[in-house]
Chains A and B, each alone.
Chain A
Amino acid sequence: MAVMQCEQVWEQISDYIDGDVDAGLRVTLDEHIRGCQRCTSVLNGTRNVLALYGDERLFKVPMGYSWRMQRRIASDVQVRRRTVIGWLVATAAVALVSGSVVLASRMGTAESTKSAMAKLGRVPADLEVVVTDHGKLFHVKECPFVRQTDHPRPATAAQAEAEGYVPCVRCLGQYVGELAARLVNQKIFASFLASR
């Protein structure tokens, strides 16, 4: 049997403990360790290291760890749910908008969205409205979406339409057809997508 040096035993000690040495080597190692106090000490000590660190009592999780983990997971699940619903809504909106566009083109409105909306809107011609130089919509004077800093000027609905303005669906919704509202939504949705 080959004589083994302590250094050689130490090199094998880890595999020896793990049972990852072949039978021949194991016999040689057994033989050496049995007669060597130092290697016995190394073996026992290493085994103790494994027993101590392998014991699950060594690592104590902080108080409330499980509870906090559960709560965090629950809130993440909720957020994901909302995101899924959000995407469903967005998909539905896309379907709705594309449906509107198809419908608008079928109705023979070769003009722009703006004029399609103007045609669909049935705002009384003499209704007093306001327009702004930078805006594209006309509103009733009290509409909360009119910014006073844009210096709104008065006009009749007919004048506003003639100038290319379209009715605001939020204050003139009662006059504007559903399709026009959808087309406005399409614009809002498109700008929302562009901003992302």
Chain B
Amino acid sequence: MVVKAAPDADTQEQNLVKRIQNGEPDKFYELVKPYERRVYTAAFAILRNAADAEEVAQEAILKAFANLRQFRAESKFSTWLIQIAVNEARMRRRKEHAEIMEPIGERQEEDGTYAPREFADWREIPSEALERSEVRELLLESLASLGSKYREVFVLRDIQHLSIEEVADALGISRASVKTRLLRARLMLRDLLAPRVAGGWFSRPFEKGNKPWQ
């Protein structure tokens, strides 16, 4: 799922950055367009609210525009942009005390081992499953129920496909912490989803009475 940009695409991007830095601000949208969706996703995964996520995504992109001179070509523009979005979203969350409920795993010790609870036979899920809004809702709901420190790591690594180092940089935590949180986030999500999957409803057409959310 990792989309690797072609080498010339990187060079093109760097040229675009230079042109904007040298007084062609109109080119900025062209620069951020490939990443605007990822910026939204990062904000949404942290804030769990579409309206807030869009606002934060806009703020983050404008912030990147205002600070483009500080961007150094040795790092990837997309990573830099996502970092800004993550910081903006975290600031917004802190401001609004968005942690209304106690999310799963928030109180668990990070260093302790997380033992999976569910051992249902969970085979491959057809990719069409994601076309169903109920499936998407379940996935988003499960993700939203994770504690923010797990959710953030999971989002950056497994949804945004950043490397362990990039996640560590973006969140200002150690590489080891990223790995520990990531393991736990993945296992927790698996446990959250497994009971719904055990009946095999991902592969079965939904009919009245067998909808997984009922």
- Interface 1/0s, chain A 91-107, versus B by CB < 8 A? 00000000000000000
The answer on a CB contact under 8 Å between B119 and A38 is yes
Interface locus among B53-61, B78-86, B100-108: B53-61
- Distance A15 CA – B154 CA, assembled complex (angstroms): 14
Residues of B within 8 A of A109 (CB): none
The answer on a CB contact under 8 Å between B190 and A49 is yes
Give the contact-size bracket for chain A.
35 or more
Closest to A40 in B: B121
The answer on a CB contact under 8 Å between A13 and B183 is yes
Of the residues A41, A48, A70, A72, contact of B119 by C-beta under 8 Å: A41
B interface SS class:
helix
A interface SS class:
helix
- Given contacts A10-B114, A68-B58, A52 and B186 within 8 Å (CB-CB): no
Give the contact-size bracket for chain B.
35 or more
Of the residues A15, A56, A65, A69, contact of B179 by C-beta under 8 Å: A15
Within 8 A of A (CB), among B127-174: 127, 129-131, 136, 139-140, 143, 154, 158-159, 161, 164
- Given contacts A48-B124, A48-B125, A74-B29, A62 and B54 within 8 Å (CB-CB): yes
- Given contacts A38-B119, A41-B120, A57 and B54 within 8 Å (CB-CB): no
Within 8 A of A (CB), among B176-207: 179, 182-183, 186-187, 189-190, 193-194, 197
Q: Show 8 residue pairs from A and B whose CB-CB distance is below 8 angstroms, ordered by the A residue.
A: A7-B113, A11-B113, A46-B187, A48-B122, A48-B190, A50-B158, A52-B130, A53-B154
* Residues of chain B at the chain A interface (Cβ within 8 Å): 1, 25-26, 28-29, 32-33, 36-37, 40-41, 44-45, 50, 54, 57-58, 61-62, 65, 113-116, 118-125, 127, 129-131, 136, 139-140, 143, 154, 158-159, 161, 164, 179, 182-183, 186-187, 189-190, 193-194, 197
